[in-house]
Homo-oligomer: A and B are copies of this chain.
Amino acid sequence: MKVTLDEIAQALNVSAMTVSRALRGASGVSAETSARVREYARKVNYRPNLAARALAAKRASVLGAIIPNLRHSFWLEMVMGVEQVAHESGYHVFLSHSADDPVVEREEMWTLVGRRVAAVLIASCDPDGNADTIRDLVDEGVHVLMFDRHGRDPIVPGVYADDVGGAARATEHLVSLGYRRIAHLAGDLKFSPARARLSGYQQKLAEYGLDPIVQEAGFGEENGYLGMQALLRRARVDAVFVSHDPSAIGALQAALNSGLRVPEDVALVGFGNMDCAAHVAVPLTTVDQPRTDLGHALARLALRIIAGDADPSTTVVLPTGFVVRKSCGAHLRGRTP
């Protein structure tokens, strides 16, 4: 809280500049001086004032990340991936979230600008509604990257999972197990991943000449529960591909509560491979998103963009995995594609 560069400089009879250089590991200091400085600094518990440093250097070695909420471990695992790569390059990560509120999100974006972060990484809770703000940031010269979800047209570089491919894979799996009345509980279609997953499902059904049965359900357990109820009321189905694991868990609950057996009466496949997917009443077969890898890729892309050696329209798409558990009935139907 106290000791400054100047104090160290005086104590050691060198200039503040020398101390600064030594402590940052910059070149232009003799090994001996550097060692003396570092030792003394450690001894007196010196901590650079990061505010002063950011001000003088006109930039902070910081990546600002904005996620929609703190409720979903998916976001946090991505952030951990970002941190790993960031730290290797001497960057810190400021984590903000909007509590799913577009207004808060805008505020957080500007706050990060106020902190002069090197780049803003955002998974927006309203990709289209806040597109203008993102454009404003870009106009101010801020590096912005999106992840997981994007607006109708991509205005900044980004990193995403292969939602179409993952959905196609899940659907294919169900088809290959012999199911024919395969429905889809779609997520909120205002988000690109929900649209992409719907699309992957549709493509695959079309490929096999099967009829799509789509029920829009939105996000979360509650909506999954309600959506599944609605679906069961209006259609007879063999199997359901659910757009997100939390909804899938709600859907599972709804099926069981209606006296249906899972997977015997209705099979279920989710998307996301969230933590408790393996532990729910009927362990969930699901598409696995490479969370940590997505974070790595995002940080790497951000760093390259900051350094100016990446095309500012780069989009990275990472392939998904697939985890077969009980809810799809593969263990009963003896096929694991």
Q: Using a CB–CB distance below 8 Å, which chain A residues touch chain B?
A: 1-2, 45, 47-52, 54-55, 60, 70-71, 73, 76-77, 79-80, 92, 94-95, 99, 110-111, 113-116, 136, 140-142, 249, 253, 275-276, 279-281
Contacts and interface: CB of A to CB of B under 8 A. Distances in A.
Contact of A113 (B47, B80, B95, B276): B47
Given A73-B73, A253-B279, A276-B275, A95 B95 contact: yes
A114 B48 contact: yes
A65 to B, nearest CB: 11
A243 B45 CA distance: 39
Contact of A51 (B77, B115, B280): B115
A70 B76 contact: yes
Nearest to A55: B51
Given A50-B111, A70-B73, A71-B73, 17 more contacts: A1-B116, A1-B140, A1-B141, A2-B141, A47-B110, A51-B51, A51-B52, A51-B55, A70-B79, A73-B73, A80-B99, A95-B95, A276-B279, A279-B280, A279-B281, A280-B281, A281-B281
B60 A71 contact: no
13 contacts: A1-B113, A1-B140, A2-B141, A47-B110, A50-B115, A51-B51, A52-B55, A76-B76, A249-B279, A275-B276, A276-B279, A279-B279, A280-B280
A305 to B, nearest CB: 15
Contacts of A79: 70
B94 A136 contact: no
A37 B25 CA distance: 43
Contacts of A281: 279-281
Contacts of A80: 70, 99
